[in-house]
Amino acid sequence: MKKKIYCNFVDFWLGFNYKTYFWYLSDEYDLQIDKEHPDYLFYSCFGNEHLFYEDCIRIFWSDENIMPDLNICDYALSLSNLQCDDRTFRKYSGFLYRKDSHLVLPVLKEEALLNRKFCNFVYSNNTCAVPYRELFFKALSGYKRIDSGGAFLNNMGKKVGDKRQFLHEYKFTLAIENSSMPGYVTEKILEPFMAQSLPLYWGSPTVSSDYNPNSFVNLMNYSSMEEAVEEVIRLDKDDAAYLDKMMTPFWLYGANFQEFRDSEIKKIKDFFSYIFEQPLDKAGRRVCYGRNRITIQKQRRYYAPTFLELSKSMTKKLLKKK
Protein backbone atom coordinates (compact mmCIF):
# COMPACT_ATOMS: atom_id res chain seq x y z
CA MET A 1 0.00 0.00 0.00
CA LYS A 2 1.28 3.46 -0.92
CA LYS A 3 2.02 5.94 1.84
CA LYS A 4 -0.59 8.70 2.00
CA ILE A 5 0.79 12.22 1.65
CA TYR A 6 -1.64 14.90 2.78
CA CYS A 7 -0.65 17.96 0.80
CA ASN A 8 -1.79 21.08 -1.01
CA PHE A 9 -0.52 23.22 -3.89
CA VAL A 10 -0.81 27.01 -3.75
CA ASP A 11 0.61 30.11 -5.45
CA PHE A 12 1.36 28.36 -8.73
CA TRP A 13 0.68 29.86 -12.15
CA LEU A 14 -2.75 30.06 -13.74
CA GLY A 15 -3.74 26.71 -15.22
CA PHE A 16 -1.28 24.71 -13.10
CA ASN A 17 -2.15 21.05 -12.57
CA TYR A 18 -0.04 19.12 -10.10
CA LYS A 19 -0.80 15.87 -11.95
CA THR A 20 1.16 17.22 -14.93
CA TYR A 21 4.28 18.35 -13.08
CA PHE A 22 4.34 15.95 -10.11
CA TRP A 23 2.89 12.83 -11.73
CA TYR A 24 5.97 10.76 -10.82
CA LEU A 25 5.25 11.09 -7.09
CA SER A 26 2.19 8.91 -7.58
CA ASP A 27 4.47 5.96 -8.37
CA GLU A 28 5.25 5.58 -4.67
CA TYR A 29 2.84 7.86 -2.83
CA ASP A 30 -0.89 8.43 -2.63
CA LEU A 31 -1.26 12.21 -2.82
CA GLN A 32 -4.29 13.35 -0.83
CA ILE A 33 -5.22 17.00 -1.34
CA ASP A 34 -6.00 18.68 1.97
CA LYS A 35 -6.59 22.39 1.47
CA GLU A 36 -7.22 23.16 5.13
CA HIS A 37 -4.57 21.28 7.12
CA PRO A 38 -1.95 19.71 4.82
CA ASP A 39 1.16 18.04 6.20
CA TYR A 40 3.12 19.24 3.17
CA LEU A 41 2.54 22.48 1.31
CA PHE A 42 3.91 22.85 -2.21
CA TYR A 43 4.04 26.49 -3.25
CA SER A 44 5.51 28.72 -5.93
CA CYS A 45 6.09 32.45 -6.37
CA PHE A 46 2.80 33.65 -7.87
CA GLY A 47 1.04 34.56 -4.64
CA ASN A 48 1.33 34.77 -0.87
CA GLU A 49 -1.19 32.21 0.31
CA HIS A 50 1.65 30.00 1.56
CA LEU A 51 2.39 32.49 4.35
CA PHE A 52 -0.86 31.55 6.07
CA TYR A 53 -0.08 27.83 6.35
CA GLU A 54 1.88 27.31 9.56
CA ASP A 55 1.84 23.74 10.84
CA CYS A 56 3.16 22.01 7.75
CA ILE A 57 6.33 21.31 5.81
CA ARG A 58 6.66 24.02 3.15
CA ILE A 59 8.21 22.99 -0.15
CA PHE A 60 9.07 25.79 -2.57
CA TRP A 61 9.07 25.07 -6.33
CA SER A 62 10.01 27.61 -8.97
CA ASP A 63 11.12 27.92 -12.58
CA GLU A 64 11.62 31.66 -12.21
CA ASN A 65 14.79 33.73 -11.72
CA ILE A 66 14.39 34.18 -7.99
CA MET A 67 16.32 32.83 -5.04
CA PRO A 68 14.42 30.61 -2.58
CA ASP A 69 13.74 32.23 0.78
CA LEU A 70 14.82 29.57 3.24
CA ASN A 71 13.42 31.64 6.08
CA ILE A 72 9.97 30.80 4.75
CA CYS A 73 10.33 27.31 3.28
CA ASP A 74 11.73 24.08 4.67
CA TYR A 75 12.89 22.80 1.29
CA ALA A 76 13.36 24.42 -2.10
CA LEU A 77 13.50 23.05 -5.63
CA SER A 78 14.49 25.78 -8.05
CA LEU A 79 16.76 26.86 -10.89
CA SER A 80 19.02 28.66 -8.43
CA ASN A 81 22.47 27.26 -7.67
CA LEU A 82 21.93 28.10 -4.01
CA GLN A 83 23.00 25.24 -1.74
CA CYS A 84 22.04 24.79 1.90
CA ASP A 85 22.60 21.48 3.67
CA ASP A 86 19.83 19.00 2.76
CA ARG A 87 17.25 21.67 2.00
CA THR A 88 17.88 22.62 -1.62
CA PHE A 89 17.60 20.83 -4.95
CA ARG A 90 18.82 22.48 -8.11
CA LYS A 91 16.51 21.11 -10.78
CA TYR A 92 16.07 21.42 -14.51
CA SER A 93 13.22 23.42 -15.97
CA GLY A 94 9.88 21.98 -14.91
CA PHE A 95 9.25 21.25 -18.58
CA LEU A 96 11.66 18.30 -18.33
CA TYR A 97 9.53 16.63 -15.64
CA ARG A 98 6.18 17.16 -17.32
CA LYS A 99 4.21 14.03 -18.04
CA ASP A 100 4.30 14.69 -21.79
CA SER A 101 7.88 15.96 -22.13
CA HIS A 102 9.15 12.58 -23.34
CA LEU A 103 7.22 13.05 -26.58
CA VAL A 104 9.93 13.86 -29.13
CA LEU A 105 9.04 14.56 -32.75
CA PRO A 106 10.30 12.13 -35.44
CA VAL A 107 14.01 12.65 -36.11
CA LEU A 108 14.62 14.50 -39.36
CA LYS A 109 17.21 13.33 -41.86
CA GLU A 110 20.03 15.64 -42.94
CA GLU A 111 18.31 16.93 -46.07
CA ALA A 112 15.12 17.69 -44.16
CA LEU A 113 17.08 19.46 -41.41
CA LEU A 114 18.65 21.77 -43.97
CA ASN A 115 15.58 22.43 -46.10
CA ARG A 116 13.60 24.33 -43.49
CA LYS A 117 12.65 27.92 -42.87
CA PHE A 118 15.32 30.13 -41.32
CA CYS A 119 14.44 31.13 -37.76
CA ASN A 120 11.53 31.58 -35.37
CA PHE A 121 10.79 33.67 -32.29
CA VAL A 122 7.89 32.77 -29.97
CA TYR A 123 7.23 34.94 -26.92
CA SER A 124 3.91 35.87 -25.37
CA ASN A 125 5.18 39.13 -23.90
CA ASN A 126 8.28 41.13 -23.07
CA THR A 127 7.26 42.26 -19.59
CA CYS A 128 10.34 43.02 -17.48
CA ALA A 129 12.53 41.17 -20.00
CA VAL A 130 16.11 42.12 -20.74
CA PRO A 131 16.39 44.40 -23.83
CA TYR A 132 18.74 41.89 -25.50
CA ARG A 133 15.81 39.72 -26.59
CA GLU A 134 14.22 42.36 -28.80
CA LEU A 135 17.54 43.86 -29.88
CA PHE A 136 18.88 40.53 -31.13
CA PHE A 137 15.63 39.78 -32.93
CA LYS A 138 15.98 43.05 -34.82
CA ALA A 139 19.70 42.58 -35.46
CA LEU A 140 19.31 39.08 -36.92
CA SER A 141 16.25 40.17 -38.90
CA GLY A 142 18.64 42.38 -40.87
CA TYR A 143 20.00 39.18 -42.43
CA LYS A 144 16.77 37.25 -43.02
CA ARG A 145 13.17 37.40 -41.91
CA ILE A 146 12.46 35.79 -38.53
CA ASP A 147 8.93 34.45 -38.10
CA SER A 148 7.50 35.67 -34.79
CA GLY A 149 4.58 33.44 -33.83
CA GLY A 150 3.85 34.68 -30.32
CA ALA A 151 1.96 37.77 -29.16
CA PHE A 152 5.18 39.77 -28.82
CA LEU A 153 6.49 41.24 -32.11
CA ASN A 154 4.08 39.01 -34.03
CA ASN A 155 4.52 39.29 -37.80
CA MET A 156 2.45 36.30 -38.90
CA GLY A 157 -1.05 37.64 -38.34
CA LYS A 158 -1.87 35.00 -35.73
CA LYS A 159 -0.36 33.15 -32.79
CA VAL A 160 0.94 29.63 -33.35
CA GLY A 161 -1.05 26.68 -32.04
CA ASP A 162 1.25 23.68 -31.63
CA LYS A 163 4.48 25.34 -30.53
CA ARG A 164 6.71 22.28 -30.76
CA GLN A 165 5.54 21.52 -34.29
CA PHE A 166 6.06 25.17 -35.22
CA LEU A 167 9.66 25.12 -33.95
CA HIS A 168 10.22 21.85 -35.81
CA GLU A 169 9.81 23.70 -39.11
CA TYR A 170 12.81 26.01 -38.56
CA LYS A 171 16.58 25.62 -38.64
CA PHE A 172 17.05 28.04 -35.74
CA THR A 173 15.06 29.16 -32.70
CA LEU A 174 15.76 32.31 -30.72
CA ALA A 175 16.00 31.00 -27.16
CA ILE A 176 16.55 34.13 -25.09
CA GLU A 177 15.72 34.15 -21.38
CA ASN A 178 14.08 37.19 -19.81
CA SER A 179 17.21 37.71 -17.70
CA SER A 180 20.65 36.30 -16.97
CA MET A 181 21.32 34.43 -13.74
CA PRO A 182 23.54 31.40 -13.07
CA GLY A 183 21.32 28.31 -13.18
CA TYR A 184 18.34 30.10 -14.70
CA VAL A 185 17.90 27.79 -17.70
CA THR A 186 14.26 27.39 -18.70
CA GLU A 187 12.22 25.63 -21.36
CA LYS A 188 13.40 28.32 -23.78
CA ILE A 189 16.32 26.06 -24.74
CA LEU A 190 14.76 22.66 -24.06
CA GLU A 191 11.76 23.15 -26.36
CA PRO A 192 13.84 23.78 -29.51
CA PHE A 193 16.12 20.86 -28.60
CA MET A 194 13.10 18.57 -28.52
CA ALA A 195 11.77 20.05 -31.75
CA GLN A 196 15.16 19.58 -33.49
CA SER A 197 15.67 23.28 -34.06
CA LEU A 198 19.07 24.75 -33.19
CA PRO A 199 18.76 27.05 -30.14
CA LEU A 200 20.35 30.49 -30.31
CA TYR A 201 20.67 30.83 -26.56
CA TRP A 202 21.19 33.77 -24.23
CA GLY A 203 20.64 33.60 -20.48
CA SER A 204 22.44 31.59 -17.84
CA PRO A 205 26.25 31.92 -17.91
CA THR A 206 26.39 28.33 -16.61
CA VAL A 207 24.13 26.79 -19.26
CA SER A 208 26.93 24.42 -20.35
CA SER A 209 26.55 22.68 -16.99
CA ASP A 210 23.04 21.66 -18.08
CA TYR A 211 23.41 20.96 -21.79
CA ASN A 212 26.18 19.99 -24.17
CA PRO A 213 27.81 23.30 -25.23
CA ASN A 214 28.43 21.94 -28.74
CA SER A 215 24.73 21.37 -29.37
CA PHE A 216 23.61 25.02 -29.44
CA VAL A 217 24.86 28.53 -30.15
CA ASN A 218 25.71 30.33 -26.93
CA LEU A 219 25.23 33.99 -27.80
CA MET A 220 26.94 34.97 -24.56
CA ASN A 221 30.25 33.66 -25.85
CA TYR A 222 30.58 36.50 -28.36
CA SER A 223 32.06 39.90 -27.63
CA SER A 224 29.29 41.76 -29.44
CA MET A 225 25.83 41.25 -30.88
CA GLU A 226 27.26 41.77 -34.37
CA GLU A 227 29.75 38.96 -33.83
CA ALA A 228 26.97 36.64 -32.64
CA VAL A 229 24.88 37.47 -35.71
CA GLU A 230 27.85 36.65 -37.94
CA GLU A 231 28.14 33.22 -36.31
CA VAL A 232 24.48 32.48 -37.03
CA ILE A 233 24.94 33.57 -40.63
CA ARG A 234 27.98 31.29 -40.92
CA LEU A 235 26.03 28.30 -39.66
CA ASP A 236 23.13 29.08 -41.96
CA LYS A 237 25.45 29.05 -44.97
CA ASP A 238 27.75 26.19 -43.89
CA ASP A 239 25.66 23.02 -44.06
CA ALA A 240 28.38 20.82 -42.57
CA ALA A 241 28.89 23.10 -39.56
CA TYR A 242 25.14 23.36 -38.98
CA LEU A 243 24.63 19.59 -39.18
CA ASP A 244 27.54 19.00 -36.82
CA LYS A 245 25.74 20.97 -34.12
CA MET A 246 22.39 19.39 -34.90
CA MET A 247 23.81 15.87 -34.66
CA THR A 248 25.44 16.51 -31.29
CA PRO A 249 23.37 15.10 -28.40
CA PHE A 250 22.18 17.97 -26.20
CA TRP A 251 21.96 15.87 -23.02
CA LEU A 252 25.10 15.56 -20.90
CA TYR A 253 25.02 11.82 -20.20
CA GLY A 254 23.13 8.67 -21.10
CA ALA A 255 22.70 6.77 -24.33
CA ASN A 256 19.69 8.86 -25.35
CA PHE A 257 17.39 11.61 -24.13
CA GLN A 258 14.97 9.17 -22.52
CA GLU A 259 17.73 7.65 -20.40
CA PHE A 260 18.90 11.12 -19.37
CA ARG A 261 15.36 12.22 -18.50
CA ASP A 262 14.62 9.05 -16.53
CA SER A 263 17.77 9.59 -14.49
CA GLU A 264 16.86 13.21 -13.71
CA ILE A 265 13.35 12.17 -12.67
CA LYS A 266 14.85 9.57 -10.33
CA LYS A 267 17.01 12.28 -8.72
CA ILE A 268 14.05 14.51 -8.00
CA LYS A 269 11.96 11.55 -6.77
CA ASP A 270 14.78 10.63 -4.38
CA PHE A 271 14.79 14.17 -3.00
CA PHE A 272 11.06 14.07 -2.34
CA SER A 273 11.35 10.60 -0.80
CA TYR A 274 13.99 11.94 1.56
CA ILE A 275 11.48 14.55 2.72
CA PHE A 276 8.46 12.24 2.94
CA GLU A 277 10.21 9.33 4.65
CA GLN A 278 11.33 11.40 7.63
CA PRO A 279 9.02 11.49 10.65
CA LEU A 280 6.81 14.53 10.13
CA ASP A 281 7.96 16.14 13.37
CA LYS A 282 11.60 15.80 12.26
CA ALA A 283 11.22 16.95 8.65
CA GLY A 284 10.94 20.67 9.35
CA ARG A 285 13.95 22.85 8.64
CA ARG A 286 12.86 26.49 8.78
CA VAL A 287 13.28 28.56 11.94
CA CYS A 288 9.86 29.33 13.42
CA TYR A 289 10.86 31.47 16.40
CA GLY A 290 13.04 34.45 17.26
CA ARG A 291 13.54 37.28 14.80
CA ASN A 292 12.39 35.16 11.88
CA ARG A 293 8.97 34.69 13.51
CA ILE A 294 8.60 38.48 13.85
CA THR A 295 9.55 39.00 10.19
CA ILE A 296 7.05 36.40 8.97
CA GLN A 297 4.29 37.87 11.13
CA LYS A 298 4.93 41.25 9.49
CA GLN A 299 4.68 39.64 6.05
CA ARG A 300 1.39 38.00 6.98
CA ARG A 301 -0.05 41.31 8.13
CA TYR A 302 1.08 42.97 4.91
CA TYR A 303 -0.43 40.32 2.66
CA ALA A 304 -3.49 39.56 4.78
CA PRO A 305 -6.73 39.59 2.76
CA THR A 306 -8.84 42.71 3.10
CA PHE A 307 -12.34 42.56 4.57
CA LEU A 308 -13.78 42.89 1.06
CA GLU A 309 -11.71 39.96 -0.23
CA LEU A 310 -12.78 37.82 2.72
CA SER A 311 -16.42 38.71 2.10
CA LYS A 312 -16.17 37.70 -1.56
CA SER A 313 -14.46 34.43 -0.63
CA MET A 314 -17.11 33.59 1.97
CA THR A 315 -19.90 34.38 -0.50
CA LYS A 316 -18.39 32.00 -3.07
CA LYS A 317 -18.18 29.21 -0.49
CA LEU A 318 -21.81 29.71 0.53
CA LEU A 319 -22.97 29.69 -3.09
CA LYS A 320 -21.10 26.44 -3.72
CA LYS A 321 -22.84 24.80 -0.77
CA LYS A 322 -26.21 25.73 -2.25
pLDDT of residue 300: 76
Q: Cα dist. 175→19, 114, 164 in Å?
A: 27, 19, 13
290-309 pLDDT tens trace? 877 778 787 877 777 654 45
pLDDT of residue 320: 63
40-99 pLDDT tens trace? 999 999 999 999 999 999 999 999 999 999 999 999 999 999 999 999 999 999 999 998
pLDDT tens by residue, the chain, 322 residues:
899 999 999 999 999 999 999 999 999 999 999 999 999 999 999 999 999 999 999 999 999 999 999 999 999 999 999 999 999 999 999 999 998 766 666 788 999 999 999 999 999 988 889 999 999 999 999 999 999 999 999 999 999 999 999 999 999 999 999 999 999 999 999 999 999 999 999 999 999 999 999 999 999 999 999 999 999 999 999 999 999 999 999 999 999 999 999 999 999 999 999 999 999 999 999 988 787 777 878 787 777 765 445 455 556 655 665 5
Instruction: Map out the domains of the chain as residue ranges.
Output: 1-90+261-318, 108-251
pLDDT of residue 304: 76
CATH classification of 1-90+261-318, choosing from 2.30.40.10, 3.40.50.11650, 2.160.10.10, 1.25.10.10?
A: 3.40.50.11650
Among residues 50, 24, 14, the alpha carbon closest in space to that of 267 is found at: 24
108-251: CATH number:
3.40.50.11660
Question: Over 2-52, what HEC string results?
Answer: CEEEEEEEECCCCCCCHHHHCHHHHHCEEEEECCCCCCEEEECCCCCHHHH
Partners of 66 in beta bridges: none
Instruction: Count the neighbouring beta carbons within 10 Å of the beta carbon of residue 95.
Output: 17
